[in-house]
């Protein structure tokens, strides 16, 4: 069973808040899931960082040129809270 | 069920117009709202696009998909049309830009009928994790259509569109195609641009077609594939995905990996897929037994890699720039935490937590790095298999579609059900699912063909041979 301390740390790293009820539910489920993931430890394969067959194949880089995105209105309209083309967030510094 | 290639002929011969065809599909969508295939139906935009397509057809300026009504999975960005990922987080999000695939389809003047429902952020194999519409299987509405592209599969299978786009990170095109009796292909990684596809597992994600025939899949792939400056993983190629249509299968070697036919695969599914092997053998192919020992680690490796990538990709949902935001947050930190906790569903949170776990200090080597090692080995095994044979034949899923709610509370059971599909994503190879009859209860069974990277056309050709002799099952809706 994953410890409460561990789950709390995972929630903090994941920026998630769980209610007490969710905590109990996720503790059980995460333990079962991690048991399934543990089967990978039985494999004796070693990762070879030099073997590029594992890497995502990237094509050549495009030219590093500034392109103007025209649809500013489309961006602003999707903002949960905006003022004069700027996103509003709660006060960070007092 | 009518195919895109048939519709093309009828539109060109002026048997009906694109507007008339679009109206028919919209009528059928309204009549079958209970199937829950769509999150958004774009009636006005569809009729306007159809009218424009008709002008193109009259003027003779015709592309293979001009005037063809299609549905689009709701994780592919469509400018000005909501793209929700079936999540509360993006319920009101209307992208300010088009995905590259949409630009390419729009250049051919397709008609977008609507956005299809899916598992939330493509995380699931039943479409039941959707926070919005929950699609049903047209063959039995008590059963799931599979997932995550379940809405697209339902829409094609029920005749609510001519074809659809899906996305596939661990089987999300092929498994619902199998459950709903249609054809779906996950192209080779790097074939289709992922620009504008809402990211889940970036090293695994591919967009692909879901349709009523392998030929239709090829027609759509010809339209959407190609190198894109916005996606560095796309490869430059000039593949004609229809180039192997009509080729004989005689002399081809088809590998049957023994691990895919063992315990855990439903007996009726196994028998149906082995009968497909027999079909190809009778057509002149040679069957070869092959082995994939890494299969027993594939589900774990897939979930570790996909969730690690997802935990990073989904960190962008913070309630600041777009998407859901919690009401009256007390601080910036609480804004982010409460937004994410309220905006994401249970399965998405599970996967973010698992991915964070795999990447966290002290666990990275044991989980993430080990998963990379399995991926390396899995790719090597595929290379070995495809040095001995042209194609590999497997079941698409261990079972047929199951009842809604059956696996939703058992994530481990749900994850293990992906066993037959995840290796294609891990190895980056193409794989196609094709229907091969139904079980005793009348639910469709699908088989999968896979090939070496960028041999997608070979899959389409081989699938077409089977489809010519074995028509798809049809749902009686």
Q: What is the pLDDT of residues B202-218, one digit of tens each?
A: 999 999 999 999 999 99
User: Does residue A10 sit within a domain?
Assistant: yes
Is A28 a domain residue? yes
Q: Could you tell me the residue ranges of all domains in chain B?
A: 1-477
* Share above pLDDT 70 across residues of chain B, in percent, rounded to a whole number: 100
Q: What percentage of chain A carries pLDDT values higher than 70? A: 90
pLDDT score of A59 more than 80? no
Mind giving me the DSSP string for B396-447?
Answer: SSSSS--BTTSSTT-HHHHHHTTTTTHHHHHHT--EEEEEEEE-TTS-EEEE
CB contacts of A30 in chain B (<8 Å) are: 350, 353-354, 357
Nearest CA in chain A to B81: A74
Query: How buried is B440 (Cβ within 10 angstroms: 0-12 exposed, 13-18 middle, 19+ buried)?
Result: exposed
Residues of chain B contacting residue A87, judged by C-beta atoms under 8 Å apart: 320-321
**In the predicted structure, residue A63 carries a pLDDT above the cut 90:** no
Mutate to test the interface with B, among A12, A54, A91 (most CBs of B within 10 A): A54
Which of B229, B356, B380 is opposite residue A10, by nearest beta carbon? B356
Nearest CA of chain A to the CA of B326: how many Å?
A: 9
A22 or A51: which leads in pLDDT = A22
Q: Which residues of A24-63 are buried (b: 16+ CB within 10 A; e: fewer)?
A: eebbebbebbbebbeebeebebebeeeeeebeeeeeeeee
**Residues from chain B contacting residue A75 (CB–CB below 8 Å):** 96, 321-322
**pLDDT reported for residue B462:** 98
Task: Give the distance between the most distant pair of CA atoms in chain B.
Answer: 70
User: Is B246 strand, coil or helix?
Assistant: coil
Q: Return the pLDDT at A53.
A: 60
pLDDT at A10 over 90: yes
The bridge status of strand B111-116 relative to strand B38-41 is antiparallel
Taking the CA of residue B235 and the nearest CA in chain A, the distance in Å comes to 6
CB atoms B300 and A59 under 8 Å: no
Phi first, then psi: what are they for B38, rounded to 5°? -110, 140
Cβ atoms A48, B376 nearer than 8 A: yes
Instruction: Name the one residue in this structure whose structure tokens are 């229907």.
Output: B435
pLDDT at B223 over 70: yes
Q: Are strands A82-83 and A86-87 parallel, antiparallel or unpaired?
A: antiparallel
CB within 8 Å: A80 and B372? no
Distance from CA of A61 to the nearest CA of B (A): 7
What's the confidence (pLDDT) of residue A91? 82
pLDDT in tens, B39-76: 999 999 999 999 999 999 999 999 999 999 999 999 99
Which of A30, A41, A59, A74 to mutate to probe the B interface, most B CBs <10 Å? A59
State yes or no: cis peptide before B45, omega within 30 of 0.
Answer: no
CA distance B382 to chain A (A): 12
Question: Which residues of A fall within a CB distance of 8 Å from B322?
Answer: 75, 78-80
Which pLDDT score, from 0 to 100, does residue A56 have?
64
Give the distance from residue A3's alpha carbon to the nearest chain B alpha carbon, in angstroms. Answer: 13
pLDDT-based confidence at residue B14 (cuts at 50, 70, 90): very high
Q: How far is CA B272 from the centre of its chain?
A: 22
Closest approach of chain A CAs to the CA of B35, in angstroms? 29
pLDDT digits (tens, 9 = 90+) for B324-371: 999 988 899 999 999 999 999 999 999 999 999 999 999 999 999 999
Candidates B196, B199, B300, partner chain A, best to mutate (most A CBs within 10 A): B300
Asked if A74 and B367 come within 8 Å (Cβ–Cβ), the reply is no
Beta strands in A1-94 (DSSP E): 82-83, 86-87
Which of chain A's residues have a Cβ under 8 Å away from the Cβ of B374?
A: 40, 43, 45
Determine the pLDDT at residue B476: 86
Confidence category of residue B201, pLDDT binned at 50, 70, 90:
very high
Q: B94: which chain A residues are within 8 Å (Cβ-Cβ)? A: 74, 77-78
Phi and psi at B424, nearest 5°, equal: -65, -35
Residues 396-435 in B contacting A (C-alpha not used; CB under 8 Å): 411-412, 415-416, 428
Residue A64 forms part of a structural domain = no
Its pTM stands at: 0.97
Chain A partners within 8 Å of B354 (Cβ): 30, 33-34, 37
Cβ atoms B203, B126 nearer than 8 A = no
> Does A12 reside within a domain?
yes
Where does B1-477 sit in CATH, by number?
Answer: 3.90.1300.10
Strand order in the sheet with B183-186: B38-41, B111-116, B69-73, B163-168, B206-211, B183-186, B431-438, B444-450, B391-395, B253-257, B286-290
3-state secondary structure of B63: coil
Range of the domain at A18: 4-42
In chain A, the residue whose alpha carbon lies closest to the alpha carbon of B374 is: A45
**Phi then psi for B213, rounded to 5 degrees?**
-160, 160
Parallel/antiparallel/unpaired status of strands B69-73 and B38-41: unpaired
pLDDT tier, A55 (very low <50, low <70, confident <90, very high otherwise): low
Strand ranges in B79-225 using DSSP code E only, listed in sequence order: 111-116, 163-168, 183-186, 206-211
A68 touches chain B (CB under 8 A): no
Q: Is residue A54 over pLDDT 60? A: no
Find, in chain A, the residue whose alpha carbon is nearest to that of B339.
A16
SS3 B286: strand
Please tell me if residue A23 touches chain B, with a CB cutoff of 8 Å. Answer: no
Sole residue written with tokens 């569903």: B345
What residues of B act catalytically?
A: 73, 148, 172
Q: Identify the DSSP state of B390.
A: S
**Contact residues for B346 (Cβ-Cβ < 8 A; gap 6+):** B129
Give chain A's domain count: 1
Task: Read off the pLDDT of each residue in A66-73 and give the average, rounded to a whole number.
Answer: 91
Residue in B closest to A85 by C-alpha: B321
Distance in Å, alpha carbon of B376 to nearest chain A alpha carbon? 5
Segment B377-417, tens digit of pLDDT: 999 999 999 999 999 999 999 999 999 988 878 999 999 99
Q: Which of A30, A36, A53 sits opposite B380 (nearest CB)?
A: A53
Tokens of B201: 């597992």
Q: How confident is the model at residue A52 (pLDDT cuts 50, 70, 90)?
A: low
CA-wise closest residue to B344 among B68, B153, B124, B158: B124
Residues 33 through 92 of chain B touching chain A, CB cutoff 8 Å: 79-80, 92
Contacts of A45 in chain B (CB under 8 A): 294, 370, 373-374, 376-377
């Amino acid at each position: 069973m994953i410890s409460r301390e561990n789950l709390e740390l995972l929630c903090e790293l994941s920026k998630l808040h769980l209610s007490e009820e969710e905590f109990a539910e996720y503790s059980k489920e995460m333990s079962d899931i991690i048991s399934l993931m543990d089967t990978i430890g039985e494999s004796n394969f070693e990762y070879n960082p030099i073997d590029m067959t594992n890497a995502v194949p990237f094509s050549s880089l495009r030219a590093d040129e500034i392109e103007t995105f025209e649809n500013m209105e489309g961006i602003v309209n999707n903002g949960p809270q905006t003022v004069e083309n700027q996103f509003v967030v709660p006060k960070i510094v007092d | 069920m009518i195919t895109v290639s048939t519709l093309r002929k009828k539109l060109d011969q002026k048997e009906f117009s694109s507007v008339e065809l679009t109206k028919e599909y919209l009528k059928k969508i309204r009549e079958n709202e209970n199937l829950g295939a769509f999150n958004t139906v774009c009636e006005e935009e569809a009729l306007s696009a159809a009218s424009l397509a008709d002008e193109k057809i009259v003027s003779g300026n015709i592309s293979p998909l001009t005037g063809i009504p299609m549905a689009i999975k709701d994780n592919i960005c469509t400018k000005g049309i909501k793209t929700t990922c079936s999540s509360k987080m993006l319920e009101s999000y209307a992208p300010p830009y088009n995905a590259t695939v949409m630009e390419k389809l729009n250049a051919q003047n397709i008609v977008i009928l609507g956005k299809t429902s899916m598992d939330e952020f493509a995380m699931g194999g039943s479409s039941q994790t959707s926070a919005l519409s929950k699609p049903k299987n047209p063959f039995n509405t008590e059963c799931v259509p599979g997932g995550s592209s379940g809405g697209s599969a339902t829409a094609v299978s029920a005749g609510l569109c001519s074809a659809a786009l899906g996305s596939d990170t661990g089987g999300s095109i092929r498994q619902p195609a199998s459950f709903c009796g249609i054809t779906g292909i996950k192209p080779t990684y790097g074939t289709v641009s992922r620009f504008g596809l809402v990211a889940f597992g970036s090293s695994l994600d591919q967009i692909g077609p879901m349709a009523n025939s392998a030929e239709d899949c090829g027609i759509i792939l010809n339209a959407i594939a190609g190198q894109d400056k916005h996606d560095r993983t796309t490869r430059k190629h000039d593949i004609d995905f229809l180039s192997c249509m009509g080729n004989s299968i005689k002399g081809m070697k088809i590998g049957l990996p023994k691990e895919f036919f063992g315990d855990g695969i439903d007996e009726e599914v196994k028998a149906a897929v082995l009968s497909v092997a027999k079909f190809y053998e009778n057509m002149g192919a040679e069957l070869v037994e092959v082995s994939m020992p890494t299969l027993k680690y594939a589900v774990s490796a897939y979930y570790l890699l996909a969730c690690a990538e997802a935990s990073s990709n989904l960190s962008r949902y913070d309630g600041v720039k777009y998407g859901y935001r919690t009401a009256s947050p007390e601080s910036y930190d609480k804004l982010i935490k409460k937004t994410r906790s309220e905006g994401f569903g249970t399965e998405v949170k599970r996967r973010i937590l698992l991915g964070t776990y795999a990447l966290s200090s002290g666990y990275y080597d044991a989980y993430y790095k080990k998963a990379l090692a399995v991926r390396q080995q899995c790719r090597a095994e595929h290379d070995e298999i495809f040095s001995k044979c042209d194609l590999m034949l497997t079941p698409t899923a261990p079972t047929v579609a199951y009842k809604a709610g059956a696996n939703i509370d058992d994530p481990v059971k749900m994850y293990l059900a992906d066993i037959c599909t995840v290796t294609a994503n891990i190895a980056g190879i193409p794989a196609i699912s094709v229907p091969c009859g139904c079980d005793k209860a009348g639910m469709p069974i699908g088989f999968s063909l896979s090939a070496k990277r960028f041999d997608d056309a070979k899959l389409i050709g081989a699938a077409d041979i089977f489809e010519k002799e074995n028509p798809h099952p049809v749902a009686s809706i």
